[in-house]
Amino acid sequence: MVKFCSIEEAISLINDGDTIWVNGFLSIATPDQLNRQITRNYRAVGHPRCLSVYASAGFAEWLDGSEIEGYITDGAVDRLVLGHYGSMTGTNKKIMDGELEAYNLPLGVMSHMVRAAANGSRSHFTKVGLGIFVDPEVGSAGLNEKSNAQLVRHTVLGSQEGLLYDVPEINVGLIKGSYADEDGNISFMDECCPVDALAIAQAVRSSRGKLIAQVAYVTEEKLPTGEIVIPGSLVDAIVVCPEQTQLTNIPKRWDCLCPRSSAYDGDVTQLKDEITSYITETSSRSDLHTVIAGRAYRELEDGQMVNIGIGTPEMVGRQVLAHGRLDKIHMCVEAGPIGGMPLSGKGFGGAICPDSIHDMPSQFDFFNGGGLDITLVGALEVDAKGNVNSHSVPGTLSGIGGFANVTQNTKKIVFCFTFNTGGIRGTVKDGKVNITSEGRVDKFVPQIKAVSFSAENALKNGQEVMYVTERCVFRLGKNGLILTEVAPGIDLQKDILDRLSIPVEVSDDLTVMEF
């Protein structure tokens, strides 16, 4: 029977040595109050401890000293396995200092791992991850010397080559919903997305564990059946947290982000501006980023299913909005929304006035099955063969996120990034690009630090791959990068070829880049 209880009572259900799966997608659907209370308990009495924590994505709030990740940084966690680390400031430092055993797996793989746990499986087989850093034949999912467990194995099942990921037995699930009725049924009607909540609840029941939920409200009337995501029969403890917000550390609530919103009605500009004033860091977006987004936008066609990645690719969504094509181009985000205007910055994962919202395992079923027509993603480094590092540079730790799933299974990939970084500046005047200051760090390099995207796999799969920068466009050919377009105002020799430390082929049909 469901127990409505205090947050202290709920967290007391967690035992030392438990394996916990935390729901959430960065700031979305994160059970922040439950995580804060684990930190407070650990700091007060030293328990729970020796925990293993899994989550498909990170779940903190981009703040130093955050209580949400405090129990991780303070030492209560022995092993951490996440799809994304970008929001977890303190945890990142602890990992990079070699003090915490931690692993990074593709976000979509982890979402399917927890669903596999729901049917009692102790492993999950998929081709996602082949040829990139998590493949034991290429690299390792471990993030430091302390992280040497073999969580992934390269294998062949039948005639299919793939990776076998270990699936843990889950003792505790932590989720956040919007409403609970007196029977313990939980609705997500004020949340941007349910993410992995149902799969976590089912996986915990399969392991005879405990599901702990935080909600904002309790209603005396039974929730409508169509609104119930988690049935009360799967819930062990519910904590009422009226102070919880839709987006972690962002106090305001917007109905346009959740299932209560109406479908796109042609007037989301005001809502978009209001939200991005809270959650988008626009200061780093220059004229050069606008050039990149403008060129990438030209690859979009009406009726396409389009995935927009974090960073510079987010600006392509603004191009879609500015050209009045939100009802013609269906932008999809890993967390679950299809349609509408994807959020930027710290709200990444949600969407304004989406046409529909799905749970994350189902969204990745769609992505893995080739449902996307095109994906626009960023890049940190690119080598001569066209391989890409999108997740690993010294001094920072972000994680692969959903990048591996979308780039391995989408028909067309458009990488969007500046030619170099660390101080690059430029202007656009009269349709011409002028680079006023070059960056200190090359992005086209002889050896990338980690493989996030395998060009060899893409060629085998027949994918179309483009690399769009502010000054030129490359395409992936059978022998590596082919320079196909140069922006107006850019000198081919001085601004491109002389600044490359890798060999590239220059197309015989070199054209002018339009943006």
Check whether residue 158 and residue 49 sit in a common domain: yes
Check whether residue 40 and residue 175 sit in a common domain: yes
User: What digits encode the pLDDT tens for the residues 341-357?
Assistant: 998 888 899 999 999 99
Mean per-residue pLDDT, 402-414: 97
Task: Name which residue leads in pLDDT, 111 or 268.
Answer: 111
Assigned domain for 259 exists: no
pLDDT(274) > 80: no
Query: Which among 186, 209, 240 is the end of a domain?
Result: 240
User: For residue 282, what pLDDT is reported?
Assistant: 43
Assigned domain for 263 exists: no
**How many helices, marked H, and strands, marked E, lie in the chain?**
12, 35
Percent share of the chain, pLDDT over 70? 97
Check whether residue 213 and residue 297 sit in a common domain: no
User: For residue 262, what pLDDT is reported?
Assistant: 67
Kindly report the backbone phi and psi dihedral angles of residue 193, in degrees, each rounded to the nearest multiple of 5, phi listed first: -160, 150
User: For residue 267, what pLDDT is reported?
Assistant: 66
Q: Are 465 and 483 in contact (CB under 8 A)?
A: no
User: What digits encode the pLDDT tens for the residues 420-449?
Assistant: 999 999 999 999 999 999 999 999 999 999
| Residues designated as active site | 334
Check whether residue 157 and residue 296 sit in a common domain: no
Expressed as residue numbers, the domain containing 121 is: 3-240
Mean per-residue pLDDT, 398-423: 96
Check whether residue 152 and residue 217 sit in a common domain: yes
What is the C-alpha separation between 292 and 354, in angstroms, rounded? Answer: 25
Check whether residue 11 and residue 147 sit in a common domain: yes
Check whether residue 296 and residue 156 sit in a common domain: no
Q: What is the CATH classification number for the domain harbouring 138?
A: 3.40.1080.10
What is the C-alpha separation between 410 and 96, in angstroms, rounded? Answer: 32
Please state whether beta strands 425-429 and 77-82 pair in parallel, antiparallel, or not at all (unpaired): unpaired
What is the C-alpha separation between 51 and 64, in angstroms, rounded? Answer: 22
What is the C-alpha separation between 217 and 186, in angstroms, rounded? Answer: 10
Check whether residue 216 and residue 301 sit in a common domain: no
What is the C-alpha separation between 219 and 186, in angstroms, rounded? Answer: 10
- What is the enclosing helix (H) or strand (E) of 205? helix 197-206
Check whether residue 163 and residue 308 sit in a common domain: no
Count up the domains in the chain and report the number.
Answer: 2
User: What digits encode the pLDDT tens for the residues 179-203?
Assistant: 999 999 999 999 999 999 999 999 9
Structure tokens at 55: 């989550």
Assigned domain for 248 exists: no
User: What digits encode the pLDDT tens for the residues 216-268?
Assistant: 999 999 999 999 999 999 999 999 999 999 999 888 888 889 988 766 555 67
Structure tokens at 344: 């930027």
User: What digits encode the pLDDT tens for the residues 5-37?
Assistant: 999 999 999 999 999 999 999 999 999 999 999
